Amino acid sequence: MAQAYIRSSSLGAMERCVLFAILLATVRTVAASVSGRIKYRKNPDYCLDSGENPGNGSPVFLWACNELQQQYWFWRDDSTISVGITQKCLDLPGGDPATAPNLWLWDCNGQSQQQWGWATNSLFPDSEGGGILYPLNSGAWTYCVDTANGGSPYNGQALLPWACDEQSNDGILWLVGQQTGNSSADAGGVQV
């Protein structure tokens, strides 16, 4: 890949915006190629799970990690996250993280309530530090995917959007892709 060095002082405002948009699109492309389990960093024996028969309105929760399709997630090009071989996506009921109850699945439609972002852990930015998972419509470090009731993870523990703040680093951290210890085939061979 050719590298280009551009002096920011030689660029006008419009050129800087275009360059930023290109860089942002590149980051999203990398994130879109991630697949595999999404593990709870505090206890990576627990993964996001959709249940055995995922349908519209089915809750998404923590469950002991296993080899079943209900724990295999695909980060798609439109920033949605689908589960297993279904056409169901992680969904924010009502679309507003401030009022949404627990996360659930719904037919993938690419709308804003199904678009998710990823931000690395600012204290541990290496691949082992994990990152926050957040609704794109709220922006990074505004609302983060969190566990209901806090405490130690358990099978069936609900997931919900929760107010978080980068300064206090209080977002729950998740591991995806190669961070999960999946094989490269299972993880898509990509680190976020």
Q: Please state, as a whole number, how many other Cβ atoms lie within 10 Å of the Cβ of residue 28.
A: 17
Please indicate, yes or no, if residue 84 is contained in any of the structural domains: yes
Please indicate, yes or no, if residue 79 is contained in any of the structural domains: yes
CA 37 to chain CA centroid, Å, is 11
CATH of the domain at 130: 2.80.10.50
Three-class SS state of 48:
strand
Please indicate, yes or no, if residue 57 is contained in any of the structural domains: yes
Strand partners, 174: 40, 131
Of 148 and 19, the structure prediction assigns the larger pLDDT to: 148
What per-residue confidence (pLDDT) applies to 188? 30
Strand partners, 49: 61
Average confidence (pLDDT) over 150-158: 91
Please indicate, yes or no, if residue 4 is contained in any of the structural domains: no
Please indicate, yes or no, if residue 3 is contained in any of the structural domains: no
The phi, psi pair for 16, rounded to 5°, reads -65, -40
Structure tokens at 56: 């519209």
Structural domain count of the chain: 1
For residue 148, the enclosing domain spans 9-187
Please indicate, yes or no, if residue 94 is contained in any of the structural domains: yes
Which residue matches tokens 């990398």?
30
pLDDT digits (tens, 9 = 90+) for 82-141: 998 889 999 999 999 999 999 999 999 999 999 999 888 766 666 566 889 999 999 888
The Cα-based distances of 22 to 34, 134, 159 in angstroms read 20, 22, 33
